[in-house]
Amino acid sequence: MSFKKFLSLLIAITLTGAFLTGCTSTGNKDSSDKPVRFGQLGEPETLDPRKATGQPEGQFLLQMYEGLTAYDADNNAVPAAAEKWEVSADGLTYTFHIRQNAKWSNGDQVTAQDFEYAWKTLLSPEIASRYAEMLFYLKNGEAYNSGKVKAEAVGVKAVDPNTLEVTLEAPTPYFPQLTACYSYFPVHKKTVENNADRTANPETIISNGPFKLTAWSHNEKAEFVKNENYWDAGKVKAKKLEFSIVESNTTRVSLFENDQIDLTLDPPPSDVERLIKEKKAEITPHLGTYYYSFEVEKAPFNNPKVRKALTLAIDRSAIVKEVTKAKQIPAGAFVPLGIPDAAKGSDFRNIGGDYFKDNDIETAKKLLAEAGYPDGKGLPPITLTYNTHEGHKAIAEALQEMWKKNLGVQVELTNQEWKVFLKTCAAGDFQIARDGWSADFPDPMTFLSLFVSNNGNNHAHWKNAQFDQLVSQAKTTTAPASRVKIMHEAEALLMEEMPVLPIYFYTMTYMIKPNVKGFVHTVTDYIYFKEAYVE
C-alpha cells in the first residue's frame, strides 16, 4: 500500500486503465437516500490539502475538494473549478479562468486568490509540507521552499478573482492533469489565513467539492453529506457517504462479508481466490512493479552473470498463478504495462517486449557456471531480506525453493520490521532485498530514473554512466518518438546489467457489492464518489 503516490493518481487515468464501474444511468430517486459505505484503508494524517501525503488523505480530500481540473467518466482531465485555460507558446505560462459559479461550502465565491494562497503556503518552509516536491514544477517553487527566494517570486499569481496565472520552471505538458491532484487544491483563504487549524476539523472546514465532511471520529469513521453549494451539485447522486476507517485487511474482509460496508480494497492474499470465486471481488490493473534489488557493490552480485542467473531461474507464471493469485502479470522487463508509447494507442511494454524468458533454467545454469559457480558450488552464503508481510514472505519462500531446485543455490531468508528494513535498503546492508515501485505518473521515466546513480531509491546502488547519460538525454528531448526510443535503450541496458530482478506487475483487488454504481476508481487505487450511489 505504501507505494501509492498520488501524482500518478489522475494522470494515470487519462492514459491507462481507470474505468467507470457499473452503469452511469440515472439512478432512481429513492436509491440516493442510501449512504455509500466505504472501507477506507487508514486514518488520514491530516485533512489540509497542503499537508497531505498519501492514500488515506487523498481518499478523503478527493470527495471534499476540487482542483482547477478533474476527471470525467471517460478519464479525460476536464475543466472543474476552472472553466478553461490557455497555454503560452513556450509552454511555460498557463492562464486558468475560474468558474463564476464555483462556490465554497459556505456559499463564498472560489477565487484565484484562494489557489494562489494555498499553493504558496504549501511551498513555504514554515508549513514544512512533506509533499512540497509536488509543486516544484512552479517557477521558483523549489527555491522558495529552500528559503532562497521570497514568496512573491513563486510562479503563481491571481490576476483578478477569476484569473490565475501560473509560470512553470520547465515546459510540462501534463500540468493541467497535475492540478487535479490534491496538493493543487485550494483552501478558503479568508478563514484559513487567520487560523490554520480551521482545515483540521469537520466543524470548521470549508471545502469546494461534491461533499462536505460532517463528522470524523478518529481511527474509526467519517461521514460526508452532499455539498448543496457545489457548482455541479446536480450530478451528485448520493446524499451521504460513510467511510469506515479500517487498517487491518482481514477486518475489512469481515466488515464487507458482514454487510457493514459496500466496497473496499486490498484483501489479504489468502482470501483473494475465494472472493473472486464467490464473485465478491474484481481485479483491476495497478501501475507498479514488484521486484528484488541486488546489492551490486558486493560479491557475488557484483557479477551481472550471477544476477542474471538468479533472475532467469524463477517461474514467475507459477508465482502469479499459485502464490499471489490476483492475476498479476509476470514481468519480463522493468517498466509495467499500461504506459503509452510514442505512437497513439501503443503500449511502451508491448513495443519494448520481454528482455528475458521466464523460467529459463538452461541459460541460468550456463550463466552461473560461466560466473565460476557451476551448480551453485563455491557461492558464498546468500541472504534474502524482506519486510514482514505475509505476501512478501510467501514469494520469498517460493524463490528460495526455486533457486535451490533449479540452480542448487542455498538462500537464507531474513525479515525485518518496516522502518528497519528501509534503513537496511538505504544503507545497502543486504544482498538481495524485496523492492517495489508504483508510478509517479504514467511515463517510463518514473521507473527508469530510479536507477540513476544518485537516486536515493536506487537500493541496488547500481552506477552506470551510460545509463545516466541516456536518462538525462531523454529528459531534455522533446520530440516524443526519439524520447521514447532513448528510454527503450535505457531499459535494454538496465535489463542487460540486471541490478534488479523483476517479478510481476501489480494489480489491485476490489471488493464491491453488486448494487454499488457510478463510482470511478483509478489505477492508483483512488475512488471518486461524486456520481456514486447504492441501488
Of 155-194, binders to another protein (CB under 8 A) are: none
Closer CB to another protein, 254 or 346, in the complex: 254
Residues 407-436, one symbol each (x = binds another protein by CB under 8 A, - = not), give -----xxxxxxxxx-xxx-x----------
Closer CB to another protein, 16 or 199, in the complex: 199
**Strand pairing report for 382-387 and 411-416:** parallel
Nearest approach in angstroms of CB 293 to another protein is 13
Q: How far apart are CA 512 and CA 286, in angstroms?
A: 17
Q: How far apart are CA 182 and CA 7, in angstroms?
A: 9
Torsional sign, CA 485, 134, 210, 80: negative
Of 113-121, 176-184, 294-302, 394-402, which part binds another protein (CB under 8 A)? 394-402
In sequence order, what DSSP letters do the residues of 128-172 get, joined into one string? T-TTGGGGTTBTTHHHHHTTSS-GGGSSEEEEETTEEEEEBSS--
Nearest approach in angstroms of CB 367 to another protein is 24
Nearest approach in angstroms of CB 324 to another protein is 10
Given 322, 354, 362, 375, the residue binding another protein (CB under 8 A): 322
Q: Does residue number 18 form part of the binding site for another protein (CB under 8 A)?
A: no
Q: Does residue number 457 form part of the binding site for another protein (CB under 8 A)?
A: yes
**Residues in 490-529 at the binding interface with another protein, rule: CB under 8 A:** none
Of 87-95, 150-158, 198-206, 507-515, which part binds another protein (CB under 8 A)? 198-206
| Cβ proximity of 35 and 240 under 8 Å | yes
Q: Does residue number 258 form part of the binding site for another protein (CB under 8 A)?
A: yes
Q: Does residue number 388 form part of the binding site for another protein (CB under 8 A)?
A: yes
Nearest approach in angstroms of CB 389 to another protein is 10
Torsional sign, CA 274, 277, 283, 289: positive
Q: How many residues does the chain have?
A: 535
Three cell numbers, residue 143: 527555491
Closer CB to another protein, 91 or 436, in the complex: 436
Q: How far apart are CA 18 and CA 288, in angstroms?
A: 14
Q: Does residue number 251 form part of the binding site for another protein (CB under 8 A)?
A: yes
Closer CB to another protein, 302 or 410, in the complex: 410
Q: Does residue number 323 form part of the binding site for another protein (CB under 8 A)?
A: yes
Best CA proximity match to 292, nearest among 259, 244, 334? 334
- Beta strands (DSSP E) in 218-339 are 221-226, 240-245, 263-265, 281-294, 329-330
Given 393, 461, 463, 475, the residue binding another protein (CB under 8 A): 393
**Strand pairing report for 533-534 and 516-517:** antiparallel
Nearest approach in angstroms of CB 110 to another protein is 23
Nearest approach in angstroms of CB 480 to another protein is 27
Q: Does residue number 396 form part of the binding site for another protein (CB under 8 A)?
A: yes
Q: Determine the size of the site formed for another protein (CB under 8 A).
A: 77
CA distances in angstroms from 527 to 179, 202, 270, listed in the order given: 17, 21, 24
Q: Does residue number 90 form part of the binding site for another protein (CB under 8 A)?
A: no
- Beta strands (DSSP E) in 237-365 are 240-245, 263-265, 281-294, 329-330
| Cβ proximity of 238 and 32 under 8 Å | yes
**Residues in 349-378 at the binding interface with another protein, rule: CB under 8 A:** none
Q: Does residue number 247 form part of the binding site for another protein (CB under 8 A)?
A: yes
| Cβ proximity of 84 and 73 under 8 Å | no
Closer CB to another protein, 71 or 119, in the complex: 119
- Beta strands (DSSP E) in 204-351 are 211-217, 221-226, 240-245, 263-265, 281-294, 329-330
Given 88, 100, 106, 125, the residue binding another protein (CB under 8 A): 125
Given 66, 114, 266, 271, the residue binding another protein (CB under 8 A): 271
Nearest approach in angstroms of CB 125 to another protein is 5
Nearest approach in angstroms of CB 224 to another protein is 17
Given 282, 397, 468, 489, the residue binding another protein (CB under 8 A): 397
Best CA proximity match to 119, nearest among 108, 129, 110? 129
Q: Does residue number 200 form part of the binding site for another protein (CB under 8 A)?
A: yes
